[in-house]
Structure 1
Amino acid sequence: MGPPPVVTGISPKEGPPGTKVTVRGEFLGTGPMDLTGLTICGCDCLLSAEWKSKNKIIARSGPGKGRGDIIVTTRSGGKGTSTVQFRGYHETIGPMKESAVWVEEAPLQTLAWGRRSLSPTSYQQEDPLGLSVEGNDKKFPEEELHELFPEGSGDLTSEQFVAGWFLLEHHHATSFDDLKAGLAFLRRKVESQKEGQLSFLKANVGSVMDQLDTLTILKEKFEADIKEYGSDPTAKVEEAIQVSMKEANKLFEEVLARRDRADATRNALGVLQRFKFLFSLPVSIERNIKKGEYDVVINDFARAKNLFGSSDVPVFKKVLAEAELRVAKLQELLQNKLKEMPCTLEEQKKIIRNLVNLEASGDPAWDAIVTHSNFIVEGLKACKDEHMAAEKTSSEDSAKSTPHSNKFGDKTPGGGVAQDWQNSVPQRVLFVEEVSEIVTNRFPDLWKLGQAYFGGELHVKVDTSKQAQFKRKVLTPIDLLCGLLRAAILPHTLDRMSPLRPGLGVWPAPGADSLGPWLPHCLRCVRSTYAGLIRLDLPGEALDIVGCLIFDLRLHCMSTQFIQGTEYIKLLHKKETWIIEFDADYSGITQLPSQLEAKVREVVRLVKESVLAGEQREAALLEDGGAQRQLAALVQGLLLSFGQALETLAFSNNASHDDHSNAVSQLIGSPAVYRAGEKESHCPVWEQRLLTTLSNSRYTAAAVLPRVSELFVQHGYPSPAAAVAAATSALASLDRSILEMYLEQKSDPLVGTIEPSMYLGRFDWDTALRPVDVQPYAKEILTNMVGVHAEVHRVNPSLVPRVLGQIVESVAEELSRLMSCVTRFSLQGSQQARADVRAVQETARLYTTPAAQTFFTEALEAIPPLNNPADEELVSQLLARFRARMRLQLLCFGDAQGP
């Protein structure tokens, strides 16, 4: 609220009504619209006020009299105050003086009895005292006059005339002697007016007598005529005239008849020529209707009605009736054309304008709105029926051809025959394109037509009660569009639909499975229609219907993209080539982790471009709690699916699928790494596939998942920490399962051959034979471990410690068990046993776990100790000979020198 206005100056300070007044002051308003009131001497002068600036206003004074304040009122400051006053007064105004009030132009009565002044100057009354007031410049204050004579007036013609007011107003400075002289002048003037009437008659006695004589003669003549001709002398004259006319007509009857016929013919031809426009109007109307020039017909008909509508001539009435019949047919034609669709907005407006000009019955503008709305609704339904029938036919044809296709085609994840969807557009996608195009092209005309109707642009009588009906006419096509789209591509959301659901139809169920790759395209079509509706400035209720559909479609598109990616990743085991790649950081991996990362990158990019990037008036998808939870579940499912693919690779082809012997002993069967008769194949053996899968799992958990997590964050997704943690945990569990399976396949057979090999040839630890070398079973243990080492190292060297650690532990445990089961050792048996155990222990020391070390210690403790240094020296010699002979095998364990 600003400061109140203050008036500090006014020019001029007084004047009659209509005086142009300049008001000056402060805070007189910020603009013309801010000025809301201006009163001068209590009279409202806002109508004539002209705002110039915040310090100046120009206005004209009102009919107020006396002194008064100038009050200015503004919206920003309210009612103001005034430090100056304006004095308004009334003055006698003549016809030649400018005035802002009405001046009665009737001449005023002068003081002369019975006379009126003929001169315009008589409006200015002379002083009745005959005194001059030229030297009386100072006027007596009018306020004091009002106080002295509240009910009086100084006007000589007023009924409230007061002599005192007159003298004070005009002669307040006149001396008393002058006033006495003026009184004497006034008395003489009145006496002279009384004498003037009698002198006038005396001066004109002769003329008055002549006038009286003339009137007497006229009276006598009139009385003589009455006696001679009666009271009505014109009757005989009229009768004589009538007889003369009859005789004259008898002489010229034939001539006059021919003349009348000629005149009638001439008049008829003249009428035809003069009114040619009217007589040719019916034919002209028909011709212009055929040409489609309806405006010309309307203008001609309106012109004819203006010229001849009030005529009583029968032929004119007949021609106008013919024209009206043709105009009625034109009205019917235009009303039918108004219902013909499709029709552009301009054409409809033109037809409505023509019907209005023809004063057609009904409300053509509203009929056009109803027709347009019904046309859109029927178009949407017809499009639905057409494409639904086409998809049904396509489904039936596909069902008939499915058995033949299954023979040669590959099955898709959904169970159908693989097709080239890029070259075969589904009917539902074509349906989405077509219905979106129908609404985009037709709905704006409906909305603009309604706006023109209620805005008065169509020049028809607007029925404001139809606004609710128009709202339904607008919402029905939009609601139907969204319902049809949901039925086609989002059938799972129909439970939230309006009562229009029964008319949406039921699409063939299998068709929805093939829409996945087309959902982004469908979303773009719906968004394009939504953008067009937004530009129309529709009410929020209509836009919210489409906005809700787009939100659900975005959510479904996101879900579909992730599910498709998940299905693709689950089937990556079919794309495994088993070609191992090596790099500096991670060895023994295939292309599967890279394919996982590439697919995740593709899904993330597609979902961001088509779904997450919200457009105009679209809510952010990830701000919705349900969408966030769904996205988290989808991301987790996407990442966990790779573990399922690895699990399929690891456990679907077990050992029974490979026709190999379980014997791993060189002494009692073929070793695992030298299996005889094994056929060459591009696919590695199952144990190597286990190792490769294990390596892929470790690489994915250590390298791929962190990069995937960063990828989601870079593209604006919420952090997938929980999904990555779940995937990492699943891969860790899979890692343990694969390792246990591999160790089961390698460790158990290896350990199971130790006892048979140890007692091969009926060997007994209570022998008397001097040992000369480490026994073959110990060398066989090391050779089998070398085979495992080579197999693991070939795939991924980093796995060697984990695998060999477990195998060494199993071997140590078996040696401990076997040595503790020996009932009797001879000296030579003790030397042999100690040399065998120490050879295995020292060779595998780099992979010996604490548990394995404990088992080796227990095995040595089960062997009787050697108290003689010579016996210990023999064991040392045996170990030295073992190192020399087994140098190559020792290099495999990373130790060329031995202990």
Structure 2
Amino acid sequence: MSLGVSEDELFQAYQITSLYPQRWEDPGTSRQGRRSVDFGGSTEEWSDPLGLRPTLPASRIRGEEQFREVNISSKSFDPKVFLNTVHPNASYAELSQGTNMLKQSIEQRSEALKVLVNENFDRFVSVKATTDSIFRSMTDPEDGPLSNAPTEGIQGLRASVVEASSKADAVFRPVLENYVKSMKLRNTLGVFQRSRFFFNLPGSLQDHVEAGNYEAALRDYKKGRYLLESRPGQLLPIQTDNNAGGKPTETQLAQQQRIFARVWDAVEDIMYRMQSQLLDILRDSKRSVDEQEKCIQVLLELDPLTDPVAVFLESQHSHIRLLMQNCFQQEDRALRTARSTSQVKTYAHLDVALDLHENLVLVRTSNDTKPTFDTVLGAEVWQATEEMVNHVCQTALQSIPIFWRVAKDHADGKFIKDPSLRSNIDKQSLAWAIECIQVWVKQLYVFFQLESFRERQGRPLFSQLPSWVPDPTCSLIATHHLGRILLTITETVKELRSLKIPGTSTQLNALLLDTRFQFIEVMCFLWLRDARYCHYMEDWVPNTQQPEITSYLFAFSVFNRWNAREGFFLADVRSHSKQESHENEVDSAFIDRLKTNFVKVLHVFLEGIATAANASQDIPELQMTLHQLQGRSLPPARDHDTRILLTVSNLSHLRAQIIGAWVKQFEEAYHVSLINEKQHLLDECNRLEGELLGDSVQRKGQLLKDTIRHGILESGIDWGALPKPTGVNAFVFRALLLLVQVHAQIRATVPALVSRIIVALVEIMADAILEAYSQVRQFNMGGMLQATLEIEFVHQTMSFHVSPRAESTLKQVYETISHRYSSSVSNRNDPALQKELESVKATLIESRKATALEFLCFRKPKSDSKKSSTK
């Protein structure tokens, strides 16, 4: 034995890693570990039995198991795996060569074994003899250990084991039995744990239904039905006997079906109640359309052979009709109550004018915001009417769109699982939808007493308000609420039209058109009627910015502008294009009605101005009523003449500025021309101004006429026997002082009318002088000189206000006096006459100087004098 062996060789030979190992090392494990690292690294462990490869292909070996299959010395050797792994690409010739080599190797090993047996045969015989000798000695009957029985020598041990077994049975049998029971319970619990969803299905479905989670209930129901139909053995496994071939018995199957039936009956009962509950939801109109559609989808999943949409549409149709009728009747009763409450007393014209004044105050103090007409006449009825329309329209919008959306989805096939089950509900639902629209439209037609626009546009404005309009009421509050009501109807028509229900667009458009036109007529009627009461609001208070006119013009301007603007919104006038269209035709009819009414209102307003000027009371009745109701201070009393002057000034201002501005605003807003109408209004202003001013001048002129006539003809003056004149007669001073009073009154009221009225009075005065002196038969020299002095005094005093007509009249007076004097005197060229004339001139100068202060107002203003001199 060689002692020169290295440690590495020893470690490899004994398959250890250290001479002093700290733990046990299994040589087999180490060998397997090396094989797993390198299968072809050792020729001792593996050699190709076919002799075709020197090493094992390590890249094709996947683990120890495959190595044993390719190792020919292993019990797990598989020739097919060997060939597929080691020689996958070997040719037939190579495999034949390998087969021959394998046969030679087997023959060589057999030959070697024979040689080994021949050489060691005596040793094999010796070993066999020794083994037989030992067996005989052990079984010797006398002293052998195995002489009595096969159990000889272990009886004590056997007794101990039997005793221990009996004690173990007594102690551990109950434990083992309980263990077996626990295992059975655990197995049963495992079965129920796997089937917990199915057996808890009734309870979970009940919870979902109570919570309204119908989709989750349907999902669990379908899942439970699928498990029951396809996997009953998984829900409730049956313990089978192996002797019966693994098939359950009829008794077990029947028991299983009874359990399933008990659970499923409870499930079906819950689902039936859920189906009834869903049908009740479909009949509930307060539900949203999304919720209704979900209910329909769930019902279709539960029972696809029935059509829940038909149930929904039929119940919804009946509900809509009943709901709309009940809503209209309820609101109509509330409206009748409000109307009866507001019409307890009758109202006079002054009461209506007072209401108009209050409405106008609300409009003027609203600061560009919509006023709140809560305290004026008719407010409760208007509010009740507006609420009625709102509720009726809301009822239609809350029910009809839901009905039609579901009906349209059903017609499009959204709620149909099987096309063969399509019913006739689609045509019926369309008819029901049209009927619901007609019911809503008819309610509004009946309430508002609407007529066709085509029939109404050719008729004049009605002479009496419809019964639904509160009376009395004012056009300002009426237009406010009419606009709000029309907006509600317009929005409702727009929403219903967007549903695109076939056959409803025409009647919806007709409803909107007829309603709009009637509202315009109601507004026009009230606008025109209120214009007749506007003259009550004339309080004769001067305008703060223009004192020569009254504030009444501004009040009426606010009233007129409000109605014209609200009429524009009610008519919804579009901008006209060059091409004619149906919309333009409608706009033209609306505009014609508003234009005609606008012109009538202005004419009525002008008439009202004259009515206010000729009122019998100096303080307006409306102002006296407001003073009593609100404690306001009364405006200053205005006599008839002052009111005439203010009225004439108002008319002049209207003619010069305001009427043109009103007409222009209307023309620009409505795109119309009012040239002829404007001229008629201006002519009306001129006529009224002339009548009022002429009446005032005539009344004052009558005083002048009486004064002149009395002084010349009735005061006892004998013009044929008068001495030489020493001064102007008193009646001339009285007549001129009347003019001074008129001048002062006009200047204090309307300074712009001073010259116009004084000129007219001077003309009347000149006519009165001519008429009086024409009745004097003859003049002596003194009478002629006296008359000449008085005429010249009047002429020079009123020279600034003497018109050409008055100048001509005074010349006629001179000629008349001269003619009457010359006919009674033979020598007209008497030198004494010229001397007396000079004396009259001196007297005239003295009289003018003496009365300069009294008649200073008739002098020509300095500004006018400067202008004339400059020219």
What TM-score comes out, normalization by structure 2 length? 0.59
Distance, in Å, in 2 between the alignment partners of 1:823 and 1:779 is 24
Q: Which of 480, 497, 500 is residue 538 of structure 1 equivalent to?
A: 500
Offset from partner CA, 1:114-136 (integer Å, 9 cap, x none): xxxxxxxxxxxxxxxxxxxxxxx
Deviates more, 1:439-448 or 1:782-791: 439-448
Aligned-pair distance for 1:350?
A: 1.7
Q: Which amino acid counterpart does residue 419 of structure 1 have in structure 2?
A: T
Structure 2 counterpart of 1:711: 665
Structure 2 counterparts to residues 94-105 of structure 1, below 5 A: none
Offset from partner CA, 1:731-778 (integer Å, 9 cap, x none): 222112211221232112221222222245521111141111122222
Structure 2 counterpart of 1:439: 396
Structure 2 counterpart of 1:375: 319
Offset from partner CA, 1:281-316 (integer Å, 9 cap, x none): 777766654454444554565566667779998856
Q: 1:275 to 1:629 in 2, by over 3 A?
A: same
Structure 1 counterpart of 2:690: 736
- Contact kept, 8 Å, 1:388 with 1:507, in 2: the verdict is no
Q: 1:854 to 1:375 in 2, by over 3 A?
A: same
SS at match of 2:853: helix
Structure 1 counterpart of 2:148: none
Structure 1 counterpart of 2:334: 390
Aligned: 1:574 with 2:530 = no
Q: Which of 585, 588, 593 is residue 553 of structure 2 equivalent to?
A: 593
Q: Which amino acid counterpart does residue 739 of structure 1 have in structure 2?
A: L
Q: Which of 622, 640, 648 is residue 686 of structure 1 equivalent to?
A: 640
Aligned: 1:752 with 2:715 = no
Distance, in Å, in 2 between the alignment partners of 1:276 and 1:594 is 88
Distance, in Å, in 1 between the alignment partners of 2:207 and 2:289 is 26
Structure 2 counterparts to residues 100-179 of structure 1, below 5 A: none
Q: Which structure shows the bigger proportion of residues in helix conformation?
A: 2
- The higher radius of gyration belongs to 2
Aligned-pair distance for 1:579?
A: 3.2
Structure 1 counterpart of 2:601: 638
Percent identical across equivalent pairs?
18
Aligned: 1:336 with 2:280 = yes
Structure 2 counterpart of 1:649: 612
Structure 2 counterpart of 1:347: 291
Task: Give the unaligned 5+ runs of structure 1.
Answer: 1-264, 498-505, 659-679
Q: Which of 592, 596, 607 is residue 629 of structure 1 equivalent to?
A: 592
Aligned: 1:817 with 2:766 = no
Q: 1:404 to 1:712 in 2, by over 3 A?
A: closer
Aligned-pair distance for 1:697?
A: 1.0
SS at match of 1:767: coil
SS at match of 1:763: coil
SS at match of 1:590: coil
Structure 2 counterpart of 1:364: 308
Aligned: 1:798 with 2:752 = yes
Distance, in Å, in 2 between the alignment partners of 1:657 and 1:281 is 89
Q: Which amino acid counterpart does residue 558 of structure 2 have in structure 1?
A: A
Aligned-pair distance for 1:423?
A: 8.2
Distance, in Å, in 1 between the alignment partners of 2:299 and 2:852 is 112
Distance, in Å, in 2 between the alignment partners of 1:694 and 1:757 is 32
Structure 2 counterparts to residues 247-326 of structure 1, below 5 A: 289-295=209-215, 298-299=218-219, 302=222, 315=257
Structure 2 counterpart of 1:493: 451
Q: 1:331 to 1:895 in 2, by over 3 A?
A: closer
Offset from partner CA, 1:704-756 (integer Å, 9 cap, x none): 11222232344454344344333323222211221122123211222122222
Q: Which amino acid counterpart does residue 370 of structure 1 have in structure 2?
A: E
Offset from partner CA, 1:227-266 (integer Å, 9 cap, x none): xxxxxxxxxxxxxxxxxxxxxxxxxxxxxxxxxxxxxx99
Deviates more, 1:427-436 or 1:298-307: 298-307
Report the RMSD for the aligned CA atoms in angstroms: 4.6
SS at match of 2:504: helix
Distance, in Å, in 2 between the alignment partners of 1:464 and 1:556 is 44
Q: 1:861 to 1:496 in 2, by over 3 A?
A: closer
Aligned: 1:526 with 2:489 = yes
Aligned: 1:429 with 2:398 = no
Deviates more, 1:540-549 or 1:626-635: 540-549
Aligned-pair distance for 1:321?
A: 7.1
Q: 1:656 to 1:835 in 2, by over 3 A?
A: farther
Q: 1:427 to 1:744 in 2, by over 3 A?
A: same
Aligned-pair distance for 1:783?
A: 2.0
- Contact kept, 8 Å, 2:353 with 2:534, in 1: the verdict is no
Distance, in Å, in 2 between the alignment partners of 1:563 and 1:292 is 57
Structure 2 counterpart of 1:167: none
Offset from partner CA, 1:102-150 (integer Å, 9 cap, x none): xxxxxxxxxxxxxxxxxxxxxxxxxxxxxxxxxxxxxxxxxxxxxxxxx
SS at match of 2:548: strand
Q: Which of 399, 419, 422 is residue 375 of structure 2 equivalent to?
A: 419
SS at match of 2:636: coil
SS at match of 1:589: coil
Distance, in Å, in 2 between the alignment partners of 1:404 and 1:813 is 51
- Contact kept, 8 Å, 2:450 with 2:514, in 1: the verdict is no
Distance, in Å, in 2 between the alignment partners of 1:838 and 1:407 is 54
Offset from partner CA, 1:455-507 (integer Å, 9 cap, x none): 2222355758554433333333333333334444x33438999xxxxxxxx97
- Contact kept, 8 Å, 1:551 with 1:619, in 2: the verdict is no
Q: Which amino acid counterpart does residue 840 of structure 1 have in structure 2?
A: V
Distance, in Å, in 1 between the alignment partners of 2:843 and 2:308 is 118
Q: 1:632 to 1:515 in 2, by over 3 A?
A: closer
Q: Which amino acid counterpart does residue 594 of structure 2 have in structure 1?
A: L
Q: 1:614 to 1:718 in 2, by over 3 A?
A: closer
Aligned: 1:612 with 2:572 = yes
Distance, in Å, in 2 between the alignment partners of 1:738 and 1:544 is 55
Structure 2 counterparts to residues 211-250 of structure 1, below 5 A: none
Task: Give the unaligned 5+ runs of structure 2.
Answer: 1-183, 233-249, 360-372, 456-465, 576-580, 622-633, 823-827, 866-871
Structure 2 counterpart of 1:177: none
What TM-score comes out, normalization by structure 1 length? 0.58
Distance, in Å, in 2 between the alignment partners of 1:657 and 1:539 is 60
- Contact kept, 8 Å, 1:688 with 1:795, in 2: the verdict is yes
Q: Which amino acid counterpart does residue 541 of structure 2 have in structure 1?
A: I
Structure 2 counterpart of 1:474: 433
Aligned: 1:828 with 2:803 = no
Q: Which amino acid counterpart does residue 521 of structure 1 have in structure 2?
A: R
Distance, in Å, in 2 between the alignment partners of 1:890 and 1:508 is 66
Count of residue pairs the alignment pairs up: 597
Aligned: 1:785 with 2:739 = yes
Q: 1:770 to 1:340 in 2, by over 3 A?
A: same
Structure 2 counterpart of 1:457: 414
Distance, in Å, in 1 between the alignment partners of 2:635 and 2:566 is 40
Distance, in Å, in 1 between the alignment partners of 2:384 and 2:836 is 92
